[in-house]
Amino acid sequence: MSSSADHVQLRAQLDSLTTEAFRSELADIDQLPTREIAEIMNGEDAAVPGAVAAGLPQIAAAIDAAAERMARGGRLIYAGAGTAGRLGVLDASECPPTFNTAPHEVVGLIAGGPPALVTSVEGAEDSAELAADDLEALGVAEADTVVGISASGRTPYAIGAVEHARARGALTVGLSCNAGSALAAAADHGIEIVVGPELLTGSTRLKAGTAQKLVLNMISTITMIRLGKTYGNLMVDVRASNEKLRARSRRIVALATGASDAEIEAALAATDGEVKHAILVILAAVDAPTAAGLLDASRGHLRAALEAARKGD
């Protein structure tokens, strides 16, 4: 149980954080017309992309390092508490349908486990040991990348995850929204997106949450581009698990090849609906087993497989 001295220390820490700063000019915001509040919020949000832009060198370096580990069979693991943890789980959950990754390849850990997605789990974010236990359960190893996410940059769960992963030889990234954070200092790659004080004091689900979502979008998307999960800007590893995605699959093959509907249907049927394989069947004029072999040899990179097919002619 925490003491009064602990509470004083924590309050002092919060007082020093940009994300927790009180904005006196907004003290009467609850008395403003709804349209005016919405305009203020919109103006606040407009500043977030600029803050992310300032961190692009650090973001790009982290992505290149993560992609290299994943190319060796490693995983991308997000770890955070509260809003930060939920954002990590969200980003991880979107990778299988978008990039046809296996569920274990991109993982989101939230302090307190699945119940914390919808309710607060008391004390979970304050436990570095819990983060270590969660990563041990996954068997975190040298080929993995662990991204600790915390708006404040001081959350023990996120810092504990990074410290434990680094001790296991994994690549570590610390994503926060305060400069000089303990999380960034603990990681191989520190990314600090300073968005400033929130509209509602300390409500880091707002600008900080938006900034974190933008960065996580970059980390997962660009890593997947580097791993050959796209062909140009086409999602050629999309998993067609519903009617919309099946229609999208056909459209992607059409955009990549310019083939007729009949050719597209035949190629998808021959490749069991695998978009990347179907494109290769059409563009390289090979059969489905040959396309599969070329893609295996190129580690899933469609451009490399096409080049290999052309050299083989």
Contact 237, 301 (CB under 8 A): no
Of the candidates 216, 205, 208, the residue with the CA atom closest to the CA atom of residue 145 = 216
- Look up residue 283 and give its two tokens: 């563009």
Q: What is the CATH number of the domain that holds 161?
A: 3.40.50.10490
pLDDT of residue 57 exceeding 60, the answer is yes
Mean pLDDT of 22-33: 89
Contact 236, 279 (CB under 8 A): yes
Q: Please indicate, yes or no, whether residues 191 and 292 belong to a single structural domain of this protein.
A: no
Write down the pLDDT at residue 106.
98
Write down the pLDDT at residue 11.
62
Active-site entry in 94, 263, 265, 307:
94
The band of 156, judged by pLDDT with boundaries at 50, 70 and 90, is: very high
Residue 158 CB partners (closer than 8 Å, separation 6+)? 79, 80, 81, 84, 131, 148, 149, 150, 174, 183
Query: What is the overall mean pLDDT for the chain?
Result: 92
**Is 31 inside any structural domain?**
no
Mean pLDDT of 185-202: 94
Q: Choose the weakest-confidence range: 17-31, 71-85, 242-256.
A: 17-31
Q: Please indicate, yes or no, whether residues 132 and 220 belong to a single structural domain of this protein.
A: yes
Domain with 263, as residue range(s), is 243-312
Mean pLDDT of 76-82: 96
Give the sheet arrangement for strand 171-176, strand by strand: 106-110, 76-80, 145-149, 171-176, 189-192
Q: Please indicate, yes or no, whether residues 278 and 220 belong to a single structural domain of this protein.
A: no
Active-site entry in 125, 192, 198, 274:
125
Query: Is 94 noted as a catalytic residue in this protein?
Result: yes
Write down the pLDDT at residue 188.
98
pLDDT of residue 270 exceeding 70, the answer is yes
Residue with tokens 């570095």: 128
**Is 41 inside any structural domain?**
no
The band of 13, judged by pLDDT with boundaries at 50, 70 and 90, is: low
pTM above 0.85, yes or no: yes
Cα distance between residue 219 and residue 221, in whole Å: 6
- Number of separate domains in the chain: 2
Query: Is 125 noted as a catalytic residue in this protein?
Result: yes
